[in-house]
């Protein structure tokens, strides 16, 4: 560039190199605020619970308790990044679990041995979830129905099918050991013992949730599919004018969500070894969405992170635990949770706007 | 803290002028990593059209945002009517009589024109003043539109308006707020020739009524035509000022409402003792900071042009009776047989036409974004592209006119934007993994190749100026290695320097054998750049000017006549 010939004062002199990104408190808060909040709440609640400070067992229990919601929230992250929403996850969860256990019981009743029966039951559950997700995805993509409306329909319909299957009652699993083990067993953590001195295990549900989280994070940030999801969420029209197969990409997000809801259903029902069709997964769509939002994913789509969602799930879980231990009435817990959700969004938005 | 405006009397004594009603004093604005405005001091007088020109990223929009309360200066301040003011939000500026007419139109699509114009200041009736007085609302809206010389049915919903009409409604809305100072951010960028001249006439009218008009434009001819004063920004610094010298007159003594002939005196540089009238060229040079040659690349010798090759060749792209299936003009005339067009390899064909003449729709139906009737023949093969992907696969790509809405993903990084159309070539393991390193390298290469100013390609592309965004928008398609380029308004909202580079790029691509269709509303651009220009009106091609005809002095007039349907028969004869 030639030097301009005008003799106006320039202050400061333009010879300064352009400033590089400075340390900005807002930027750090935006990026790592969730993690900071998590550490803070974990520390406080660990201290409150007594025992060792930053107790490993506390953390293990927290992961274990929140694995099903975590799995839902991971799927929800993908859907929300694409600019959609899925309100039907809790109902898909219970429907898939109901179909799964019913299949399992039928096979065991027909004289099958337990392992193949459980495997087929799990497969049936996942197939149900995928089918349910395909249905809502199809309505949204082919029927051009607003995701909120289509999945609101799913929320009502899928639960109702599950209720009808069991006359609103419970479906008890006939699998005495294997299915139960999914909920109660785990991988021993070498060198760690619990408060009672027994070897500490990482439950299967936690292992499943974390594996899904790793895979989903990879998909979102490293794969072609993830890039397309982000592109659609950021600007659907521009994505269309760039040749992204919008319908197909969005459809798959809901199918994946359905499959993950089924996995969450299996994990959750294996705990009790039964499916309570009127109780299981009630309200979990809200927990999942809240976790996604707390984790820093934009509800408008176009930006998201799975690890944030997982931290968000743990924050919500810790708050519930903390309130319970502190003797706060369960009736008041919703108010606190609500405040935390709004606060999380406020903090993240204000820093992004600056 | 607002600082008093430092008078510039030391080097350039400015011509006598009426006292500034609004002034920026030593305004600096820092954005992360850049200083967008560097100590800019400027005054704006009532009854004056003040143009702000500069390249993209020169700080024009930042200055306008400061003046209208959308952003706050890092240092320096504003002075309104001799009193320091500071605006925390746009509403404060509006209350002080400063209104901004945005580049992006902000009408509520489902409300009527009248409701939009009086949004937030609806006339009320009834004892409790709860009900909106619809009749008064309509009357008031009609009065405001009549002031602008626009005849619109105020009961129409805003979503049915054309861009030009919407702009008039937007201006009426600013008038409803009784603004004394109106800021226009590239108002003519989306307008055709006819709408532009209407708007410029309106600007003069508003000025003559005693308002202060601030006006950003990339169209230097408009600036020279209409501005009483022009200030040039470059890299956030005020580098030059021009003013109309009214010899013999005493502007300070003139009443504010004195009407003035538009061409009363030429624009001259402030402080230029020789008082040479400014031309588009000198204005452009002060924007860019270097002398500009012709902004159009030299034309290739005729013998190299494929049209003149002795051997008969199959044209690269042929359109036969092509029209969008949902053509807006399909029922207007049964004689509408669609578009017949051939583009040879290495040829740059221009397409002129008014806004709404169906040019964009035609291009979109070629590449499969719209359903099409008729035939697309590529390299002699009839093709039907049902989706954009199919067209891309065949090497036919389309650069949208709407960079922000349909072109780029503004919140995504420059890298992600560059590689999105060709993401498959960066995919490994069947799409499970994207090769980030290759993405980065390719983006770097395009940055070098197109001289894009982009320090950090991993930042959102929204942080770049319009010209640099447009270069990325081109780069992303060029990386798919197309053989046919359909470019829709490739230099819209782009400054002179970047325009020149885009023209050179198009010429170079054609020389490499691409077939290019350039849709543009800027006739000088079509005339300077293209091998021939076809004119579209109401979904049909109504005429064509060969290269030879384009070199005639009346080319622009002929194109306008064809586009607007004046003596179309005579032209095609």
Question: Within this chain, do residues B66 and B174 fall inside the same structural domain, yes or no?
Answer: yes
Question: Do B92 and B66 belong together in one domain?
Answer: yes
pLDDT at A217 over 90: yes
> B61 in a domain, yes or no?
yes
**Contact flag B239-A8 (C-beta cutoff 8 Å):** yes
Residues A37, A348: Cα–Cα separation, whole Å: 12
Q: Do A8 and B238 touch (CB under 8 A)?
A: yes
pLDDT bracket for residue A280 (50, 70, 90):
very high
Comparing C-alpha atoms, which of A304, A22, A24 is closest to residue B412?
A304
Q: Report the percent of chain A where pLDDT is more than 70.
A: 87
Mind telling me how many Å the CA of A220 is from chain B's nearest CA? 10
Nearest CB to B406 within list A10, A237, A244: A237
Chain A interface mutation, best of B434, B476, B482, highest count of A Cβ atoms under 10 Å: B434
Alpha carbon distance, N-terminus to C-terminus of chain A: 32
Q: For every residue of chain A, which 3-state class applies, written as one string?
A: CCCCCCCCCCCCCCCCCCCCCCCCHHHHHHHHHHHHHHHHHHHHHHHHCCCCCCCHHHHHHHHHHHHHHHHHHHHHHHHHHCCCCCCCHHHHHHHHHHHHHHHHHHHHHCCCCHHHHHHHHHHHHHHHHHHHHHHHHHHHHCCCCCHHHHHHHHHHHHHHHHHHHCCCCEEECCCCCHHHHHHHCEEEEEEEECCCCCEEEEEHHHHHHHHHHHHHHHHHHHCHHHHHHHHHHHCHHHHHCCCCCHHHHHHHHHHHHHHHHHHHHHHHHHHHCEEECCCCCCCHHHHHHHHHHHCCCCCCCCCCCHHHHHHHHHHHHHHHHHHHHCCCCHHHHHHHHHHHHHHHHHHHHHHHHC
Assess if residue B1 is contained within a domain: no
The closest CB to that of B289, out of A2, A7, A243, belongs to: A2
Do residues B80 and B100 both lie within one domain? yes
Domain chopping of chain A, boundaries: 54-185+195-353
Token pair recorded at residue B161: 């308006």
Alpha helices in B50-162 (DSSP H): 60-67, 90-95, 113-117, 134-147
Question: Is B246 in the same domain as B266?
Answer: yes
Chain A residue with CA closest to B431: the answer is A224
The three-state DSSP-derived secondary structure of B308-330 is HCCCCCCCCEEEEEEEECCCCCC
Is the separation of the CB atoms in B194 and B356 below 8 Å?
no
Residues ≥6 apart with Cβ < 8 Å to A298 = A80, A81, A233, A304
Contact by Cβ (8 Å): A273, A175: yes
Q: Is the pTM of this model over 0.80?
A: no
Q: What is the pLDDT of residue B12?
A: 45
Which tokens is B556 given? 């622009």
pLDDT in tens, A237-268: 999 999 899 999 999 999 999 999 999 999 99
The reported pLDDT for the residue numbered A26 is: 66
Q: Structural domain of residue B145, as residue ranges?
A: 109-160
**CA nearest to B214, candidates B16, B27, B63:** B63
Tell whether B141 and B86 lie within a shared domain.
Answer: no
Residue of chain B whose Cα is closest to the Cα of A219: B432
Sheet holding B181-185, edge to edge: B98-101, B181-185, B212-216, B48-54, B229-234, B237-244, B267-269
Q: Give the number of other CB atoms < 10 A from CB of residue B430.
A: 8
Supply the pLDDT for residue B327: 61
**Which one of A218, A228, A243 has the shortest CB-CB distance to B392?**
A243
ipTM summary value:
0.80
pLDDT per position as a tens digit, B475-517 = 999 999 999 999 999 988 787 888 888 999 999 999 999 999 9
pLDDT for position B282: 77
Q: Closest by alpha carbon to B538, among B372, B371, B358, B360?
A: B358
Q: Please, which residues have CB within 8 angstroms of residue A157's CB and are 6 or more apart in sequence?
A: A91
Q: CB distance from B432 to chain A under 8 Å? A: yes
Residue B39 forms contact with A (CB below 8 Å): yes
Kindly state whether residues B155 and B168 are assigned to the same domain. Answer: no
* pLDDT score, position A244: 92
Question: B388 and A8 in contact by Cβ < 8 A?
Answer: no
End-to-end Cα separation, chain B, in angstroms: 68
List, in order, residues 6 or more apart from A16 with CB less than 8 Å away: none
**Token representation of residue A119:** 């495997």
- Residue A340 gets the label, from left (phi > 0), alpha (psi -120 to 50) or beta, of alpha
Cα torsion B422, B425, B430, B434: sign: negative
Nearest to B141 by CA among B94, B91, B176, B104: B176
According to DSSP, the β-strands at B212-216 and B48-54 are parallel
Identify whether residues B173 and B259 lie together within a single domain.
Answer: yes
Q: What is the mean pLDDT of chain A?
A: 85
Q: Are residues B266 and B188 part of one domain? A: yes
Interface-testing mutation among A223, A241, A297, with chain B (most B C-beta atoms within 10 A): A241
Q: How far is CA A257 from the centre of its chain?
A: 10
CA B347 – CA B533 distance, rounded (Å): 11
Give the count of alpha carbons within 13 A of A218, CB side only.
10
* DSSP letter (8 states) at residue B78: E
- Closest CA–CA distance from residue B436 to any residue of chain A (Å): 8
Torsion angles phi and psi, residue B221, rounded to 5: -60, -40
Contact criterion met (CB below 8 Å) for B212 and B44: yes
Which is nearest to A257 in space by CA: A337, A155, A353? A155
Task: Please state, in angstroms and rounded to a whole number, the distance separating the CA atoms of residues B408 and B414.
Answer: 9
Rounded distance between C-alpha atoms, residue A315 and residue A62, angstroms: 9
Please name which of B189, B233, B540, B185 lies closest in space to residue B357, comparing C-alpha atoms: B540
Contact residues, chain A, for B270 at CB < 8 Å: none
Residue B13: the pLDDT is 44
Model confidence at A13, pLDDT cuts 50, 70, 90, reads: very low
Higher-scoring residue by pLDDT: B31, A22: B31
Contacts A242 to B, Cβ<8 Å: 388, 420-421, 476
B16 φ/ψ sector (left φ>0, alpha ψ -120 to 50, else beta): beta
Say if B405 falls within a structural domain. Answer: no
Is B384 in the same domain as B470? no
Using CA atoms, how far apart are residues A87 and A90, in angstroms rounded to an integer? 8
* Residues A33-49: tens digit of each pLDDT: 788 888 888 887 777 76
B103 lies in the same domain as B202: yes
H/E stretch holding B517 reads strand B515-519
Q: Please report, for residues A79, B31, B67, B95, B112, the alpha-carbon distance to residue B71 in angstroms, rounded to integers and kept in the order given.
A: 34, 11, 8, 16, 30
| DSSP reduced 3-state for B27 | strand
pLDDT for residue B300: 58
Each residue's pLDDT tens digit, A94-152: 999 999 999 999 999 998 898 999 999 999 999 999 999 999 999 999 999 999 999 99
B388 and chain A: CB distance < 8 Å anywhere? yes
* pLDDT for the residue B518: 95
Kindly tell me the burial class for residue B402, based on how many C-beta atoms sit within 10 Å of its own C-beta (0-12, 13-18, 19 or more): middle
Average pLDDT, consecutive stretches of 10 residues, N- to C-terminus, chain B (573 residues): 44 50 88 78 89 81 87 88 87 88 76 87 79 86 83 84 80 84 83 79 88 85 87 86 62 43 63 69 74 66 46 78 72 65 92 84 91 89 90 93 88 93 89 91 93 88 87 94 93 83 92 92 87 89 89 82 65 43
Q: Kindly tell me if the per-residue pLDDT of A271 is higher than 80.
A: yes
Which of A156, A160, A155, A163 has its CA nearest to residue A85?
A155
Q: Do B408 and B454 touch, CB atoms closer than 8 A?
A: no
Distance between CA atoms of B286 and B49, rounded to whole angstroms? 20
* Residues of A with Cβ-Cβ distance to B409 under 8 angstroms: 231, 234-235, 238-239, 302
Q: How far apart, in whole angstroms, are the C-alpha atoms of residue A163 and residue A183?
A: 23
A241, B388: Cβ pair inside 8 Å? yes
State phi, psi for B352 to the nearest 5 degrees.
-100, 170
* Long-range contacts from B498-502, C-beta under 8 angstroms, 24+ separation: B498/B55, B498/B56, B498/B467, B498/B468, B498/B470, B498/B471, B499/B295, B499/B467, B499/B525, B500/B292, B500/B295, B501/B450, B501/B451, B501/B471, B502/B470, B502/B471, B502/B474
Per the listing, tokens 């040749």 go with A243
B436 CB neighbours in chain A (<8 A) are 222
Higher model confidence: residue A191 or residue A288?
A288
Task: Check pLDDT > 90 for residue A310.
Answer: yes
Is residue B15 in some structural domain? Answer: no
Residues B202 and B333 occupy one common structural domain: no
Do both B255 and B139 map to the same domain?
Answer: no
Q: Give the model's pLDDT for residue B569.
A: 46
Record: contact A234-B411, CB cut-off 8 A? yes
Q: Give the count of domains, chain B.
A: 4
CATH number, residue B270: 3.40.50.300
Residue B3 lies in a domain: no
Cβ–Cβ gap B432/A14 under 8 Å: no
Give the chain A residue nearest B33 (alpha carbons): A19
Look-up of token digits 């770097």: B444
For B128, other C-beta atoms within 10 Å of its C-beta total: 7
Q: Does B408 touch chain A (CB under 8 A)?
A: yes
What is the pLDDT, as a whole number, of residue B294? 66
Question: d(Cα B299, Cα B295) in Å, to the nearest integer?
Answer: 12
> Per this entry, what is the length of chain B?
573
Q: Selecting from 1.20.1070, 3.30.750, 3.30.70, 1.10.3470, what CATH number does the domain A54-185+195-353 have?
A: 1.10.3470
User: Which residue does chain B place closest to A233, by CA atoms?
Assistant: B409
Give the residue from B232, B256, B286 where a domain finishes. Answer: B286
CA angle B562, B565, B571 (to 5 degrees): 45
Q: Give the whole-angstrom CA distance, residue A209 versus residue A216.
A: 10
Alpha helices in B73-192 (DSSP H): 90-95, 113-117, 134-147, 163-176
Contacts of B416 in chain A (CB under 8 A): 227, 230-231
pLDDT confidence bin for A325, thresholds 50/70/90: confident
Please tell me which of the candidates B11, B33, B412 has its beta carbon nearest to residue A230: B412
Domain final residue pick, B160, B177, B192: B160
Q: Quick check: B431 and A223 CB within 8 A?
A: yes
Q: What is the structure's pLDDT at A195?
A: 66
Model confidence at A285, pLDDT cuts 50, 70, 90, reads very high
User: A113: Cβ–Cβ under 8 A, 6 or more apart, which residues?
Assistant: none
* A100 contacts A125 by C-beta, under 8 angstroms: yes
Q: How far apart are CA A299 and CA A293, in angstroms?
A: 7
Where is B535: in which H helix or E strand? strand B532-537
What gap in Å lies between CA B226 and CA B262, rounded to an integer? 7
Nearest CB among A2, A8, A238 relative to B405 is that of A238
């Amino acid at each position: 560039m030639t030097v301009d010939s005008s003799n106006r004062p320039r202050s400061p002199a333009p010879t300064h190199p352009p400033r590089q990104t400075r340390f900005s408190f807002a930027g750090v808060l935006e990026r790592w605020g969730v993690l900071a909040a998590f550490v803070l709440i974990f520390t406080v609640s660990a201290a409150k619970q007594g025992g060792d400070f930053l107790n490993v067992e506390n953390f293990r229990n927290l992961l274990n308790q929140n694995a099903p919601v975590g799995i839902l929230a991971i799927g929800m992250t993908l859907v929300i990044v694409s600019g959609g929403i899925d309100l039907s996850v809790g109902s898909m969860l219970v429907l898939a679990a109901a179909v799964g256990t019913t299949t399992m019981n039928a096979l065991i009743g027909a004289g099958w041995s337990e392992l193949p029966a459980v495997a087929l039951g799990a497969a049936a559950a996942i197939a149900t979830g995928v089918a349910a997700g395909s249905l809502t995805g199809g309505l949204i993509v082919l029927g051009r129905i607003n995701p909120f409306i289509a999945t609101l329909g799913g929320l009502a319909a899928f639960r109702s099918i599950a209720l009808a299957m069991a006359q609103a009652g419970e479906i008890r699993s006939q699998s005495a050991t294997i299915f139960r083990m999914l909920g109660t067993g785990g991988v021993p953590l070498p060198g760690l013992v619990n408060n009672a001195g027994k070897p500490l295990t990482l439950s299967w549900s936690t292992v499943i949730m974390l594996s899904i989280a790793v895979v989903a994070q990879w998909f979102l940030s490293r794969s072609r599919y993830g890039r397309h999801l982000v592109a659609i969420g950021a600007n659907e029209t521009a994505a269309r004018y760039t040749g992204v197969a919008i319908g197909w990409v969005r459809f798959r997000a809901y199918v994946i969500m359905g499959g993950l809801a089924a996995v969450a259903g299996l994990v959750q029902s294996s705990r009790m070894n039964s499916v309570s069709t009127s109780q299981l997964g009630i309200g979990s769509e809200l927990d999942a969405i809240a976790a996604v939002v707390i984790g820093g994913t934009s509800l408008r789509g176009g930006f998201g992170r799975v690890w944030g969602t997982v931290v968000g799930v743990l924050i919500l879980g810790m708050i519930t635990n903390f309130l319970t231990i502190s003797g706060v009435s369960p009736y008041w817990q919703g108010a606190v949770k609500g405040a935390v959700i709004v606060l999380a969004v406020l903090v993240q938005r204000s820093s992004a706007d600056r | 803290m607002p600082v008093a405006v430092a008078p510039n009397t030391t080097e350039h004594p400015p011509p006598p002028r009426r006292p500034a009603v609004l002034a920026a004093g030593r305004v600096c604005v820092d954005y992360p990593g850049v200083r967008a405005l560097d100590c800019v001091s400027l005054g704006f007088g009532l009854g004056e059209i003040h143009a702000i020109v500069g390249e993209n990223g020169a700080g024009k929009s930042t200055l306008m945002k400061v003046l209208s309360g959308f952003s706050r200066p890092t240092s320096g301040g504003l002075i309104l009517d001799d009193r320091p003011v500071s605006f925390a939000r746009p509403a404060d500026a509006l209350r002080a009589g400063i209104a901004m007419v945005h580049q992006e139109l902000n009408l509520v699509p489902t409300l009527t024109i009248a409701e939009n114009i009086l949004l937030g200041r609806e006339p009320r009736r009834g004892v409790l003043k709860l009900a909106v007085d619809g009749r008064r609302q309509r009357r008031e809206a009609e009065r405001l539109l009549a002031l602008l010389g626009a005849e619109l049915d105020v009961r129409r919903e805003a979503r049915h308006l054309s861009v030009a009409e919407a702009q008039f409604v937007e201006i009426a809305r600013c008038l409803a707020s009784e603004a004394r100072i109106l800021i226009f951010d590239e108002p003519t960028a989306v307008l055709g020739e006819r709408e532009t001249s209407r708007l410029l006439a309106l600007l003069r009218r508003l000025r003559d009524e005693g308002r202060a008009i601030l006006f950003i434009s990339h169209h230097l001819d408009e600036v020279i035509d209409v501005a009483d004063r022009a200030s040039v920004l470059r890299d956030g610094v005020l580098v030059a000022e021009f003013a109309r010298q009214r010899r013999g007159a005493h502007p300070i003594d003139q009443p504010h409402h004195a009407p003035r002939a538009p061409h009363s005196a030429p624009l001259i540089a402030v402080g230029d003792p020789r008082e040479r009238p400014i031309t588009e060229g000198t204005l452009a040079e002060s924007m860019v900071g270097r002398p500009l040659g012709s902004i159009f690349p030299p034309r290739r010798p005729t013998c190299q042009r494929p049209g003149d090759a002795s051997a008969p060749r199959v044209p690269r792209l042929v359109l036969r009776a092509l029209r969008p299936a949902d053509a807006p003009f399909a029922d207007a005339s049964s004689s509408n047989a669609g578009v017949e067009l051939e583009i040879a390899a290495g040829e740059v064909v221009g397409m002129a036409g008014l806004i709404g003449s169906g040019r964009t729709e035609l291009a979109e139906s070629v590449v499969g974004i719209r359903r099409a009737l008729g035939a697309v023949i590529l390299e002699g093969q009839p093709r039907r592209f049902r989706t954009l992907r199919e067209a891309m696969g065949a090497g036919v790509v389309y650069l949208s006119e709407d960079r922000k809405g349909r072109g780029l993903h503004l919140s995504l990084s420059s890298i992600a934007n560059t590689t999105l159309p060709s993401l498959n070539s960066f995919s490994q393991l069947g799409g499970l993994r994207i090769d980030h390193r290759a993405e980065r390298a390719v983006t770097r290469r395009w940055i070098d190749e197109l001289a894009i100013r982009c320090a950090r390609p991993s930042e959102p592309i929204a942080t770049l100026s319009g010209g640099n965004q447009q270069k990325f928008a081109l780069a992303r398609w060029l990386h798919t290695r197309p053989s046919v380029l359909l470019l829709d308004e490739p230099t819209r909202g782009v400054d002179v320097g970047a325009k020149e580079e885009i023209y050179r790029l198009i010429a170079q691509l054609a020389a490499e054998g691409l077939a290019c269709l350039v849709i543009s509303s800027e006739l000088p651009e079509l005339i300077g750049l293209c091998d021939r220009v076809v004119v579209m009106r109401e979904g049909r091609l109504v005429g064509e000017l060969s290269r030879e005809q384009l070199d005639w002095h009346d080319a622009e007039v002929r194109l306008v006549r064809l586009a607007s349907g004046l003596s179309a028969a005579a032209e095609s004869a």
